[in-house]
Amino acid sequence: MPSPAALSYENPLNRLRRVDFFLLSCFGLVLVIGMFFIASACRGESDSTSAGFLVRQIVFVGIGLSVFFALQRVSYLSILRHAPLLYLIGLVLLCGVFATRPINGARSWYNLYFFKLQPSELMKPILILTLAHYLMYRDSYKKLAGLFVPLVLVAVPLLLILKQPDLGTFLAMSPLLFVMLFAAGARLWHLLLMMMCGFGGMVLMWFTVMKDYQKRRVLAWLYPEEYRLGEAWQLLRSETAIGSGGFWGKGWGESSQTGLNLLPEKHTDFIFAVVAEEGGFVLAALLLLLIFFAVLSALGIAERTREPAGRLIVVGCITMLCSQALINAGVALGLLPTTGLTLPFVSYGGSSILSSFICLALIVNVGSTHVPVLSREDFS
């Protein structure tokens, strides 16, 4: 196999021909939809505050695009070599937040004044690279004992994220290990055993780890009427917004839930409800379809990639983006308890946008990099 340094100097035109522009178009349209509805969601604030949210989001997108293009200048194999170091840096950042001031009861951010950096968002692509680096040329994970190391690699950052506490990010990152191990060729019954242990661990979390307000969110999801003036307020307002949008929607800027400031966190966690109310079923379905088509396109890249690490990176990145989108939409529709998770490329937030662009950059990088692999059989 060529060295990572050699691949970094591949003819840019050759790499450009292999870029999946359909994938980029899907996420590009999702990003545009997000920008429009962030502007609408913030209109209930003062004019200066509303404009400030949109301007900052544009700046965040500019930073994300800069990182995206910077990551295309080198082969993903060059980035992969630094995965262990990036993993250690990520752990240090996750530990460091415990020395910061809590925001809404959670220690999850570094206040950089211009925006709040959330290290758990950066840990998402770092963890994907770390798992790909460990799994790419090993077969120990095909034995039950061989699952211990990847399990520890995932468990350490997840426990730190849960301690903050950030249950939403914890849930979004939880499927990552199982999906990447499955893509690498781990035995199915080993994965089923791990999933059963995981479900048992979640039950144990209820009695040991989860805070009272997190338990109330779950209870509010199960019994919304009993918590309608408290923890179920966001959930009920979100369902009202989505239901009132009908098939065609009320039109941009005509949301009663956002205009009257009835829906908290409408530009971040509940942006999907704003899209559904103002754009109706049509636009909400289009948004989900764009994400679905992007997932299919990314899976096509994974199928065409025979280099082990590249395939694992693509599978991990698209799993992360997809699980986060499904959880966010599920919360807005009342299918899941409130988690505080953003919708990738749609919700307002610098850390979320940066993490999403890094994942997309890694997918495109793998798809556009040609790595000759001499193998008697396909990677599985």
What are 91-118's pLDDT values in tens digits? 999 999 988 888 777 788 888 877 788 9
Per-residue confidence band for 44, with pLDDT thresholds at 50, 70 and 90: low
The CA-atom distances, in angstroms, between 78 and each of 151, 217, 308 are: 25, 43, 15
Q: What pLDDT score does 321 carry?
A: 95
For 262-311, what is each residue's pLDDT tens digit? 777 788 888 999 999 999 999 999 999 999 999 999 999 999 988 889 99
Give the pLDDT confidence score for residue 15 in this predicted structure. 74
pLDDT over threshold 70, residue 61 = yes
Return the structure tokens found at 310.
């590249």
Is residue 379 assigned to a domain? no
88, part of any domain: yes
Percent of the chain with pLDDT over 90: 42
Mean pLDDT of 332-354: 90
**Radius of gyration from C-alpha coordinates of the chain:** 21
Instruction: Name the least confident of 65-69, 180-184, 225-229.
Output: 225-229
Domain that holds residue 208: 4-368
| Counted domains in the chain | 1
More confident residue, 359 or 1: 359
* Residue recorded with tokens 């890094």: 358
> By three-state DSSP, how is residue 75 classified?
coil
pLDDT at 192 (0 to 100): 84
Structural domain includes residue 318: yes
Tokens of 154: 């995932």
Instruction: Using the CB atoms, write b or e for 48-66: b if 16+ within 10 Å.
Output: eebeebbebbeebbeebee
Within-domain flag for 70? yes
Is residue 373 in a domain?
Answer: no
More confident call, 258 vs 276:
276
375 inside domain: no
Lowest average pLDDT, out of 125-134, 154-163, 357-366, goes to 154-163
Q: Among all chains, which residue has been given the structure tokens 């239901």?
A: 243
**How confident is residue 376, by pLDDT bands cut at 50, 70 and 90?**
very low
pTM of the model: 0.90
> 372: cis peptide before it, omega within 30°?
no
Over residues 354-365, mean pLDDT: 96
DSSP notation for 334-354: TSS-----PPTTTS--HHHHH
Mean pLDDT of 348-368: 94
| Cα of 324 vs its chain's centroid, Å | 5
